[in-house]
Amino acid sequence: MIQDINKAMELAVDSGVFPGASIHVSINNKTLYSKNFGVTNIETGHKINDETIFDLASLTKPLATTLAIMHLVQEGYLSLDQTLFEIFPEETKKDKAKITVQHLLCHNSGLADHKPFYKTLKDLPVSKRAYAIIRQILDEPLEYQPEEKTIYSDLGFMLLEDLIKRISGVRLDEYVKKNIYIPIGLKDIFFIDLLKNKSIKNEKYAATELCPWRKKTLIAEVHDDNAHFVGGICGHAGLFGTTEGVYKLLDYLLTIYNDTSDFSASNAVLDKKLIRTFFHVPKKAERPLGFDIPTPPTSSSGKYFSKNSIGHLGYTGTSFWIDLDRSIIIILLTNRVHPSRNNIKIRKFRPFIHDIIMQWLLMEKQTNTL
pLDDT in tens, 54-92: 999 999 999 999 999 999 999 999 999 999 999 998 888
Q: What is the pLDDT of residue 294?
A: 96
Please tell me the predicted confidence (pLDDT) of residue 60.
99
Does residue 264 register a pLDDT over 70? no
pLDDT tens readout for residues 129-153: 999 999 999 998 999 999 999 999 9
CA distance 107 to 88: 19
The pLDDT of residue 75 is 97
The CA distance from 19 to 142, in Å, is 39
| Per-residue pLDDT band at 1 (split at 50, 70, 90) | confident
| pLDDT score for 116 | 97
Residue 297: what pLDDT?
A: 84
At residue 368, the pLDDT reads 46
**Residues 151-165, mean pLDDT to the nearest whole number:** 98
Residue 36 one-letter amino acid:
N
Domains and CATH numbers, the chain: 2-366 (3.40.710.10)
Instruction: Burial-class residue 116 by CB neighbours within 10 Å (0-12, 13-18, 19+).
Output: exposed
**pLDDT above 50 for 313:** yes
Residues sharing a CB contact under 8 Å with residue 262, sequence separation 6 or more, in sequence order: none
- Inter-helix orientation angle 126-139/154-168, to 10°: 120
- Give per-residue pLDDT as tens, 92-101: 888 999 999 9
pLDDT band at 350 (very low <50, low <70, confident <90, very high): very high
Give residues with Cβ within 8 angstroms of 96, minimum separation 6.
Answer: 84, 85, 109, 110, 138, 142
pLDDT attached to residue 2? 92
- pLDDT, tens only, 288-309: 999 999 998 889 999 999 999 9
Share above pLDDT 90 across residues of the chain, in percent, rounded to a whole number:
88
Average pLDDT over residues 187-198: 90
Mean pLDDT of 155-176: 98
Q: Would you place residue 32 in the very low, low, confident or very high pLDDT band (cuts 50, 70, 90)?
A: very high
Q: Spell out the SS3 assignment of the chain.
A: CHHHHHHHHHHHHHCCCCCEEEEEEEECCEEEEEEEEEECCCCCCCECCCCCEEEEECCHHHHHHHHHHHHHHHCCCCCCCCEHHHHCCCCCCHHHCCCEHHHHHHCCCCCCCCCCHHHHCCCCCHHHHHHHHHHHHHHCCCCCCCCCCCCCCHHHHHHHHHHHHHHHCCCHHHHHHHHHHHHHCCCCEEECCCCCCCCCCCCCECCCCEECCCCEECCCCCCCHHHHHCCCCCCCCCEEECHHHHHHHHHHHHHHHHCCCCCCCCCCCCCHHHHHHHHCCCCCCCCCCCCECCCCCCCCCCCCCCCCEEEEEECCCEEEEEECCCCEEEEEEECCCCCCCCCCCHHHHHHHHHHHHHHHHHHHHHCCCC
The closest alpha carbon to 47, from 238, 207, 199, belongs to 207
Burial class (CB in 10 A: 0-12, 13-18, 19+), 124: middle
Q: What's the burial of 364, exposed, middle or buried (CB within 10 Å: 0-12/13-18/19+)?
A: middle
Q: How confident is the model at residue 261 (pLDDT cuts 50, 70, 90)?
A: low
Percent residues over pLDDT 70 in the chain: 95
In this predicted structure, what is the pLDDT of residue 367? 45
Would the pLDDT of 369 be above 80? no
pLDDT, mean of residues 254-265: 72
